[in-house]
Amino acid sequence: MTGCDGPQSTLAPAGSGAEQTLQLFIWMAAGAALVWVLVIGLAIVAFRAQAGDVRVARMLIVGGGVALPTIVLFVLLGFGLRLLPELTAPGDGLRIAVSGEQWWWRVRYEPPDGPAVASANEIRLPAGVRTEFTLTSTDVIHSLWIPSLGGKMDMIPGRTTRLALEPTRTGVFRGVCAEFCGASHTFMAFDVVVMEQDEFTAWLERQAEPARPPAGALAAQGRALFRDNGCGACHRIAGTAAAGVIGPDLTHVGARASLGAGTLPAEIEAFAQWIGHTDAVKPEVRMPAYDMLTPEQLTAIGHYLKGLQ
Ligand code: CUA
């Protein structure tokens, strides 16, 4: 019953694909219930029947064993095939390239009329627009799934797969990796924020801007620690010397709802906990734990990163 509502439910659709999938589920569940009732009814009839009536038995076998399943399956097949063209139709505007990596999401917005914008572990979408995802993977097979918006699609190394999703209402939803991909598969989630079109356009323009300088002495100390500990070798913060591409882009990491790919809330203490103890939060994660830093130093870095709005 806990799956009936919430930010990650196929039964509370917020996208055209999810609505159609729900329709198909309702028809299939109703069909299955009907078949179940018929089978139970026949079982009762069989218990009460007199032995030896071969004509009735033959009719029941041909009718219930051949004709009925054939008709039910053909109707369901027809229903499913009718949904296919719309479910697999391409997008018409914004494109988002998402790459699955152990265990996070590399995100790149490719608007038709503007510069590409790098991000990670959060996807924002305009409502009412059919956005096309181009999906890749750098290591093993992952699968992108936002149950509230539509179906899932595998991300396969060496190939590019496509998925178009059309959100029908605004809100915050949850996306997950739907293919077992290693020790921290379960810690590979992301937030999906559906916004009105004009709100989204303004947000994307802000995302394209470089990071703002730190506000306050603590955040400035955090920036120095970030630089001196070599964090920029893996992470990029636009507008600074940090230009690494191995890990998530952190230019606006403070404005995201979570960190560690949906693992912790994006709060200052959580940044400190994450950086100091990555492997305790996320088993086998590639990012080393910076446990040589003092709690004060970790908090300073947390202040700097949270300030990257
Ligand atoms: Cu990536 Cu499971």
Tens digit of pLDDT for each residue in 119-174? 999 999 999 999 999 999 999 999 999 999 999 999 999 999 999 999 999 999 99
**Residue whose CA is at the smallest distance from ligand 1 atom 1:** 142
Buried b (16+ CB within 10 A) or exposed e, 9-30: bbebbbbbbbebbeebeeeeee
- pLDDT for the residue numbered 180: 97
Q: Measured in angstroms, how far is the CA atom of residue 141 from the centroid of ligand 1?
A: 7
Name the pLDDT band for 112 (thresholds 50, 70, 90): confident
Q: Measured in angstroms, how far is the CA atom of residue 118 from the centroid of ligand 1?
A: 21
Tens digit of pLDDT for each residue in 246-273? 999 999 999 999 999 999 999 999 999 9
Q: Measured in angstroms, how far is the CA atom of residue 31 from the centroid of ligand 1?
A: 33
Q: Which long-range contacts (CB under 8 A, 24 or more apart) does 294-297 make?
A: 297/221, 297/225
Atom number of ligand 1 nearest to Cα 177: 2
Atom number of ligand 1 nearest to Cα 100: 1
- Assess whether pLDDT exceeds 90 at residue 28: no
- pLDDT for the residue numbered 93: 81
- pLDDT for the residue numbered 265: 92
- Assess whether pLDDT exceeds 90 at residue 35: no
Atom number of ligand 1 nearest to Cα 140: 1
Q: What pTM does this model have? A: 0.88
Q: Measured in angstroms, how far is the CA atom of residue 78 from the centroid of ligand 1?
A: 33
Which residue ranges have their beta carbon within 6 Å of ligand 1?
100, 103, 142, 177, 179-181, 185, 188
Name the pLDDT band for 242 (thresholds 50, 70, 90): very high
Name the pLDDT band for 222 (thresholds 50, 70, 90): very high
Length of the chain: 309
Q: Measured in angstroms, how far is the CA atom of residue 174 from the centroid of ligand 1?
A: 14
Atom number of ligand 1 nearest to Cα 180: 2
- pLDDT for the residue numbered 198: 95
Residue 236 φ then ψ, to 5°: -105, 135
Q: Above pLDDT 70, what percent of the chain?
A: 99
- pLDDT for the residue numbered 76: 84
